[in-house]
Amino acid sequence: MKRDLSRREFLEAAVAAGTAVAGATVGGAGILSSPQPVSAKEPKTANEKLNLAVIGVADRGQANLNGVANESIVVLCDIDDRRLEVAGARFPNAKRVVDFREALEVANLDGVVCSTPDHMHAIVVAAALKKGLPVYCEKPLTHSVWEARQLRKLNAQARVPTQMGNQIHAEPNYRRVVEMIRAGTIGPVERVHVWLGSGVRSFPAVKPMETPSHIHYDQWIGPAPFRPFNEAHFHFNWRYWWDFGGGQLGDFGCHFMDLPFWALELGAPSSVAATGEKGHDGDNECPMRMRVEYKFPARGDMPPVHLTWSHGGWMPEGAEAYKMGSAVLFEGADGRLIADYGSHKLFMQEGKTAAPVKPWIENSVAGHHAEWLTAIRTNGSTSSHFEYGGNLTEAVLLGNVSYRAGKPLVWDTRNFKTDSPEADRFLKRDYRPGWSL
C-alpha cells in the first residue's frame, strides 16, 4: 500500500521511539511492507559505481560479494587472512582489513554488505547505520530478539536503504503465492505448517585447539562469550552453537517463514511454544530436531493464525504425500496451497474452484542485491528492509527463546517481555567487555 510522505515520517518516528500507531507497531501485526524512499542523500546515476565495503568475504560472504561485484569494492574485511587474500586477488584495488570498524572509516562509502556470523550482525549493522550508511545484511538480521528491536529503531532513524539477505524473497514463486493468498484463493487462512527436512550437525565434546596463525580469533569472537578456538564452532559450524548462531531455525526461519509473514501480513506472535531434541547433552548446542508452535493474533479482518515450524525430520501428519522435503503449507477454508523456494501447488476443496489471479507484485528485475543497489541509487526502498526483516527475525528467534527457557511463552511485544522473567534473559545477552551496540 502506498503511503504519503507525512504518514511515512510519522510511522518511522514511532518505530524509532519504540511506540505504536495505527497500522504500524513495533513488533506488532501492522508492518511497514513497502515504505517510501528513505534518504535525502543525492542519488547516483545507473552509470556511476557505488563504493562498497564488504565485511565477511567467504561462504555466504562470497555469494553476497558476487551479488555486488559490478560495483566499486573499495574495502574487504575478514578475520581469516587466507580468505581475505583470495577475495583481495579478485579485487586488487580494494583495501584489506581484519577489523570491521576500520572498514567503516573508509571515506566516501555508499553502502556496507555484512556477511559475518550471526553473533556479529548487530554490532556491524548498528555501527554502519549510525554512520548513515545503507546496509545489506545476511539473515537472520540479528543473533538475539533484543538486537532485532534495536536495529529496527536505528533503521527508522537512519532512513537509508537496507535489505536483509533472505534472497528467496526476490524470486517470482514467492510473489505468485502471496498474490494467491491475498486474493483469497483458498479462503481465510488460520493454519500454516512450515517444515525443513534437514537437521543440524551434532558435535562430540572436543579438546581446545591452538588458534591458527592466519585467524584473528579475538576479533571473530567479538561480543560473544570467549571460548578457546575450536573448529567445531568456527567457520560454518558456528551456526549450531547458541553463543554464535541460532541453529536451523535461525538459519532457515527467515527464508521459509518469510512466505507466510508476507502473504498473511503477520507481525509479532502472541505466544510461542518450542520443543526439541539435541544430539548430546551440551548446554551450548542447538537442537537437532525442533518444533515451534506460534500463535498470531487477528489482523484487521484476517483471522488469527497458528503456525507450526518443524525441522530435523519432524513434519506435519500427511506431509510425505506432498513430496516436498521442505515446504510451507497454507490451509484455508476453501483449499490448501503448498510451496517451496521454486514451486507451488494448489489443492481446492471439493466443489470449490480457483479463479485466476492477476499478478500485481512486480518481479525483481535482477534479484535481491540489485534491489538494494537500485534503492541506494534512487533513494528508494527494498522489499525486505530492516523493519520487515527485523520484525520477521524477532518472531523467528522467539522460538529459540521458548526452547532455551523450556516452557511455552506469552509474548508482550509492546513491553518487550514474556510472561516468564527466567525466559526474558534469553531475549538479550551481556556482551563481552569492550563490545556494545
Instruction: Report pLDDT for 94.
Output: 98
pLDDT digits (tens, 9 = 90+) for 391-416: 999 999 999 999 999 999 999 999 99
User: What is the predicted pLDDT for the residue at 25?
Assistant: 34
> What's the pTM?
0.91
Tracing cell 545503507 back to the chain, one arrives at: 134
Integer Cα distance of 384 and 363 in angstroms: 14
Looking at residue 57, its pLDDT comes to: 98
Q: What confidence score (pLDDT) does residue 30 get?
A: 34
pLDDT, mean over the chain: 90
> So what's the pLDDT on residue 208?
78
Mean pLDDT of 193-209: 80
Instruction: State residue 283's pLDDT score.
Output: 75
Coil, helix or strand for 243?
coil
Choose among 263, 274, 268: nearest CA to 339: 263
Over residues 334-342, the mean pLDDT reads 98
Q: Regarding predicted confidence, which is higher, 239 or 36?
A: 239
Average confidence (pLDDT) over 9-38: 37
Tell me the domain boundaries of the chain: 5-170+365-385, 172-362+396-424
Per-residue model confidence (pLDDT) at position 47: 80
Mean pLDDT of 198-223: 86
CB within 8 Å of 353: residues ≥ 6 apart: none
What is the structure's pLDDT at 4?
34
382-390: average pLDDT: 97
Cell numbers of 152, please? 529496527
What b-and-e string marks burial along 227-237, b requiring 16 or more CB atoms within 10 Å of the CB?
eebeebbbeeb
pLDDT at 39 over 90: no
145 phi and psi angles, rounded to 5 deg = -65, -45
Superfamily of domain covering 172-362+396-424: Dihydrodipicolinate Reductase; domain 2 (3.30.360.10)
What pLDDT, on a 0 to 100 scale, did the predictor assign at position 156?
97
Grouping H, G, I as helix, E, B as strand and the rest as coil, residue 58 is coil
Q: Which CATH architecture has domain 5-170+365-385?
A: 3-Layer(aba) Sandwich (3.40)
Burial 22-56 (b: 16+ CB within 10 A, else e): eebbbbbbbbbbebbebbeeeebeeeeebbbbbbb
Q: How far apart are CA 426 and CA 429, in angstroms?
A: 7
Report pLDDT for 207: 76
pLDDT over 70 (residue 184): yes
pLDDT of residue 366: 87
What amino acid occupies position 310? S
Report whether pLDDT(15) > 70.
no
Asked if residue 65 has pLDDT above 90, the reply is: yes
Q: Is the pLDDT of residue 360 over 80?
A: yes
Q: What is the mean pLDDT of residues 308-324?
A: 93
Beta bridge partners of 379: none
Question: Tens digit of pLDDT for each residue in 118-169?
Answer: 999 999 999 999 999 999 999 999 999 999 999 999 999 999 999 999 999 9
Tell whether omega for the bond before 316 is within 30 degrees of 0, i.e. cis. no
The confidence score (pLDDT) of residue 31 equals 37
Sheet arrangement for strand 72-77: 95-97, 72-77, 51-55, 111-114, 135-138, 162-165
Helix extents (H) in 282-432: 368-378, 386-405, 421-424
pLDDT of residue 242 exceeding 70: yes
Residue 17 has pLDDT above 50, yes or no: no
What does the pLDDT read at residue 281?
61
